[in-house]
Amino acid sequence: MSVRTYLVRRLALLVVVLVGITLLTFLLVRVVPSDPAAIYAGPRARAAQIEQARHILGLDRPLYEQYGIYVRDLVQGDWGTSLRTRRPVLGDILHFLPYSLQLIFFSLLISVTLGITLGALTAHMKGGWIDHVMRIFAIGGVSMPAFFLAIVLQIIFFRWLGLLPVSGELDIAVAQAHPVTQITGMTAVDALVTGNFVAFFNAMEHLILPALTLAAFSTGVITRMTRSAMLESMGADYIRMAKAMGVPTRVIVLRYALKNALAPVLTIIGLEFAYMLVGTFFVERIFALPGLGTYATTSMLSLDYPAIMGITILLALIYVAVNLVVDLVIAKLDPRVVLS
C-alpha cells in the first residue's frame, strides 16, 4: 500500500493505543491507595480543607465522569495541573523534555557508533580475541544496572581522577559567569548556537558520564545485534559469490553486508530510544540533571497523579512515533520490505 495509507492506518492505531493507555493509567492511579486531595491540601491540612480540595479536584464525581473530563481536557491541550508544583503538567513536561532529549541523542550517538562499529568488527574477526573481549563488554553493558554504573563512574572519574564533574548540567560558577540563553532548552545546543563556548564545553563535560551510563546497555545490545545480523548476511550466497569474484573484503563488508544487516539493527535502535527514555529516570536522578527523568521520579514518589499520567502519555506518544519513523526508514532503505 502507499505510504500515505500506511501512515493513516498507523495514526489511527496510535489513537487506539492512547485511549488504552490513558484508561489503564487512569484506573491504576485510582486503584493505588493514595489521597490526592490530601496531597493537594498539604501536609498540615485539617479535615475540612481536605474535603474542599477533594471538591476542587473533582474527585467527588463518579469515575467515568472524571475520565471523560480528563480526556476532554487532554484533547484541548490541558494535561492537568501537577499536585506538587501547582503548574500545568504539559508546561512542566515541555520544559524538562529538551534536556532529556539532548542526553538521549548524545547517548544514542555513542551507542550507535560504538555498537555498529564493534558489532561489525567482531563479526569480521569472529573467533578472535577481539571478539571474545568485546563480548564480555557487551554482556557487561547489558547486565550492569544503570544506577550502579553511574555511581562507579562518578567515583572513578570524579573522586579518583578528578577529570569530570559529579552532577548538574553546568558548574555553578560557569552558570553565574556565562549564563546560557534558552532557545531550544537543550543547554549544550543553546550554548553552542549562541557562541557561549565556555558554557558549551562545560555542558558537554557534564553530559559525558550520564551519556556513558545511559549508553552502556544500548551499546551492548546494538553490538550483539549487529554482530549476529552481520554474520547472517556475511553467510549469504551473494556474498560468497562476491568473494569468489575477488571483490575486496572491505567493499564486501561495508558496502554489501553491513547495509543489508542494518534492518534489524534499525528496529533495535528505535527500541533503544524508548529504553533510554525510561533509563533517564535513574541517570538523571543520580546525576541531578534537570530533565524529564528527575521530574518523573519526583512525581512518582509523591504520587502526583496528573504528572504521572502526563508523562505516561508522553512516553507512549514518543514510543509510537519513534517506531513509526523507524518502520518508514526501514521501508525506504530495504526494498524487500513492503508496507502493510
Site for another protein in 162-181 (CB under 8 A): 162-169, 171-173, 175-177
Which H or E run includes 105?
A: helix 89-124
Smallest distance from the beta carbon of 52 to another protein, in angstroms?
Answer: 8
Of 132-140, 158-166, 214-222, 309-317: span binding another protein (CB under 8 A):
158-166
Q: Of 210 and 220, which CB lies nearer to another protein in the complex structure?
A: 210
Residue 231's alpha-carbon distances to 127, 135, 237, in angstroms, are: 12, 14, 12
Terminal Cα distance for the chain, rounded: 6
Residue 85 or 228: which CB sits closer to another protein?
A: 85
Taking CB under 8 A as the rule, does residue 32 contact another protein?
A: yes
Identity of the residue, 8 or 184, whose beta carbon is nearer to another protein in the bound complex: 184
Restricting to residues 312-331, name those near another protein by CB under 8 A.
none
Complex with another protein: residue 83 or 320, whichever CB lies closer: 83
Q: How far is the CB of 325 from another protein (least distance, A)?
A: 15
C-alpha grid cell, residue 233: 548476511
Select the residue interacting with another protein from 33, 62, 127, 195 (CB under 8 A).
33
Which residue from 241, 278, 325, 337 is in contact with another protein, where contact means CB under 8 A? 241
Candidate list 25, 26, 39, 219; residue touching another protein; CB under 8 A? 39
- The mark string for 102-141 relative to another protein (x by CB under 8 A, - otherwise) is -------xx-xxx-xx------------------------
CB closer to another protein, 172 vs 338: 172
Residue 257-286 contact track with another protein, rule CB under 8 A, x = bound: -xxx-x----------------------xx
Query: Per-residue x/- marks for another protein, 288-307, CB under 8 A?
Result: x-x---xx-xx--xxx----
- How buried is residue 30: exposed, middle or buried, by Cβ count under 10 Å (0-12/13-18/19+)? middle
Exactly one of 22, 25, 41, 57 binds another protein (CB under 8 A); that residue is 41
User: Of 205, 232, 275, 323, which one interacts with another protein (CB under 8 A)?
Assistant: 205
Q: Contact 246/163 with Cβ under 8 angstroms?
A: no
Please report how close the Cβ of residue 16 comes to another protein at its closest, in angstroms.
Answer: 31
Tell me the β-bridge partners of 81: 88
Report the residue from 255, 278, 325, 337 that binds another protein according to the rule CB under 8 A. Answer: 255
194 belongs to the binding site for another protein (CB under 8 A)? no
Among 14, 94, 144, 247, interactor with another protein by CB under 8 A: 247
Among 14, 17, 29, 45, binds another protein (CB under 8 A): 45
Q: Report the phi/psi class of residue 96: left, alpha or beta, with left for phi > 0 and alpha for psi in -120 to 50.
A: alpha
d(CA 125, CA 285) in angstroms, rounded, equals 39
As given in the structure block, the three cell numbers for residue 116 are: 555498529
Of all helices (H) and strands (E), which one includes residue 142?
helix 129-143
What does the alpha-carbon distance between residue 312 and residue 25 come to, in Å, rounded to a whole number?
8
Contacts of 209 (CB under 8 A, 6+ apart): 150, 153, 154, 157, 158, 164, 165, 287
Among 89, 215, 225, 242, interactor with another protein by CB under 8 A: 242
Q: Which residue, chain included where needed, has cell 575486496?
A: 248
Cell output for 336: 524487500
Task: Please state the closest distance from residue 43 (CB atom) to another protein, in A.
Answer: 6
Residue type, position 322, single letter: V
Angle at the Cα of 193 from the Cα atoms of 192 and 198, rounded to 5 degrees: 30
Closest C-alpha among 233, 313, 258 to residue 73: 313
